């Protein structure tokens, strides 16, 4: 009898051990998937096939989204991902064909100076957000919103990295006011026109992105080019468009700015700041949707933080999707590098699995609302 009891105990321990091993393996596979959904990257090519690096990264679950561009800044070329409406539609279809989970396929289609799908490539002519804000016409903004959403939908995009809700506090701000990207210095005008554009995008199942939190409109320099300090120029009113649009349930995704404001965080720029992303955006403004970083290849990040450090900080700060536009500088395997860095950060105990799962759940909720599998 004793032998039978000991045998049963042994078999029970063995079964539990096998179960734990299997759950560990499953968890590792899940973690790979979770991390992949947190990465959005840019790539080169007007078309892709089985041999394309981006196709393999999508197929292997290393990315959950891609972003397309009309120019290749790193090599000063006008050939990148966009050549014509038909070509872009085919490319986006090819991209989706490699994905087990529907990809976010994003583009900056603000209108005016920032319109990757423009008349040069055979797309409809656009107007700037400043033009719409100065007109402040419900009819005109609705018309432009319908046209933009239709253009994106027909080309196979499902995310617009717009609208810009930065207030035009400094009309000479090189990255915002000087190139007419802001509707207005008035929060009411910004909210009114943004809400119209968002409504028209939603009718076409296009995700919109409010940017650049907590406000880039007062900046005297461009965060693409280097450190951008808004400590002496930023104003509390710059949070107002976010507050109102979140309260109106118009915020699908919020993009962070790489601006530094010592009054909000004495150490880190917004993209890397828990005080700003978690403290202000999530806790103060009650936003529980997807937070996406601005391009992590911008010099305001790359010149001051290492890749691993920047990734760790932005995740701990509260970001869900990390963008490597791969345009200012180009690294074909950036997705693989970033994916491995995050996995290692989890395995080394610097970031918890639970923290990654929170971002994954937010992303999947967003995709379930907009993307049809």
pLDDT value of residue 226: 52
286 assigned to some structural domain: yes
Instruction: Output the six-digit token pair for 22.
Output: 């299997």
Question: Which of 101, 123, 111 lies closest to 200, judged by CA?
Answer: 111
* 178 to 9, 130, 241: CA distances (angstroms): 75, 10, 20
136 assigned to some structural domain: yes
* 327 to 61, 297, 331: CA distances (angstroms): 22, 8, 9
82 assigned to some structural domain: yes
Instruction: Output the six-digit token pair for 304.
Output: 């001051």
pLDDT value of residue 223: 54
Give residue-wise pLDDT tens across range 17-28: 444 443 344 588
pLDDT value of residue 222: 53
153 assigned to some structural domain: yes
Quote the domain boundaries for residue 337: 48-370
Residue with tokens 């990255």: 175
pLDDT value of residue 300: 75
Number of Cβ within 10 Å of residue 353's Cβ equals 13
> What is the torsional sign of CA 353, 358, 361, 315?
negative
105 assigned to some structural domain: yes
pLDDT value of residue 4: 47
Do the strands 109-111 and 104-107 form a parallel or antiparallel pair, or are they unpaired?
A: unpaired
pLDDT averaged per 10 residues in sequence order, the chain, 373 residues: 47 45 61 98 97 97 98 93 98 98 98 97 98 98 98 98 97 95 98 98 98 94 67 97 98 96 96 98 98 91 91 98 95 96 97 98 97 70
pLDDT value of residue 151: 98
Cα 194–195–198 angle (5° rounding)?
A: 85
CATH number at residue 224: 3.20.20.300
14 assigned to some structural domain: no
pLDDT value of residue 11: 44
351 assigned to some structural domain: yes
296 assigned to some structural domain: yes
Alpha-carbon distance 55 to 240, whole Å? Answer: 41
Which residues, other chains included, contact 68 with Cβ-Cβ below 8 Å and sequence gap of 6+? 42, 80, 81, 82, 88, 91, 92, 105, 106, 107, 116, 157
Give residue-wise pLDDT tens across range 256-298: 999 999 999 999 999 999 999 999 999 999 999 999 999 999 8
Is the backbone of residue 105 left (phi > 0), alpha (psi -120 to 50) or beta? beta
- The answer to whether the beta carbons of residues 181 and 211 sit under 8 Å apart is no
Number of domains in the chain: 1
């Amino acid at each position: 009898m004793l032998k039978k009891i000991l045998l049963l105990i042994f078999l029970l321990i063995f079964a539990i051990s096998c179960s734990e091993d299997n759950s560990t393996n499953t968890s590792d596979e899940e973690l790979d998937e979770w991390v992949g959904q947190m990465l959005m990257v840019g790539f080169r090519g007007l078309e892709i096939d089985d041999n394309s690096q981006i196709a393999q990264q999508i197929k292997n679950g290393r990315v959950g989204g891609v972003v397309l561009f009309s120019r290749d800044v790193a090599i000063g070329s006008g050939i990148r991902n966009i050549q014509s409406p038909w070509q872009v539609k085919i490319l986006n279809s090819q991209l989706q064909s490699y994905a087990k989970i529907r990809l976010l396929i994003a583009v900056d289609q603000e209108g005016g100076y920032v319109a990757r799908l423009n008349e040069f490539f055979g797309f409809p002519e656009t107007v700037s957000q400043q033009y719409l804000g100065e007109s402040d016409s419900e009819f005109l903004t609705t018309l432009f919103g319908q046209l933009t959403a239709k253009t994106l939908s027909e080309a196979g995009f499902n995310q617009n990295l717009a609208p810009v809700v930065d207030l035009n506090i400094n009309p000479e701000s090189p990255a915002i006011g000087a190139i007419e990207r802001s509707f207005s210095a008035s929060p009411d005008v910004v909210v009114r026109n943004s809400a119209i554009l968002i409504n028209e995008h939603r009718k076409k199942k296009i995700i919109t992105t409010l940017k650049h939190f907590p406000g880039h409109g007062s900046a005297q320099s461009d965060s693409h080019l280097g450190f951008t300090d808004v400590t002496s120029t930023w104003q509390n009113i710059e949070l107002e468009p976010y507050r109102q649009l979140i309260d109106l349930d118009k915020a699908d995704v919020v993009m962070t700015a790489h601006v530094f404001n010592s009054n909000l965080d004495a150490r880190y720029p917004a993209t890397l700041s828990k005080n700003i992303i978690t403290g202000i955006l999530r806790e103060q403004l009650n936003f529980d949707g997807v937070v996406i970083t601005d391009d992590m290849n911008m010099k305001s990040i790359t010149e001051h933080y290492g890749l691993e450090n920047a990734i760790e900080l932005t995740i701990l700060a509260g970001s869900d999707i990390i963008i490597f536009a791969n345009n200012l500088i180009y690294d074909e395997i950036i997705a693989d590098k970033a994916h491995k860095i995050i996995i290692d950060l989890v395995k080394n105990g610097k970031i918890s699995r639970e923290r990654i799962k929170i971002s994954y759940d937010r992303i999947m909720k967003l995709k379930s609302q907009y993307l049809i599998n």
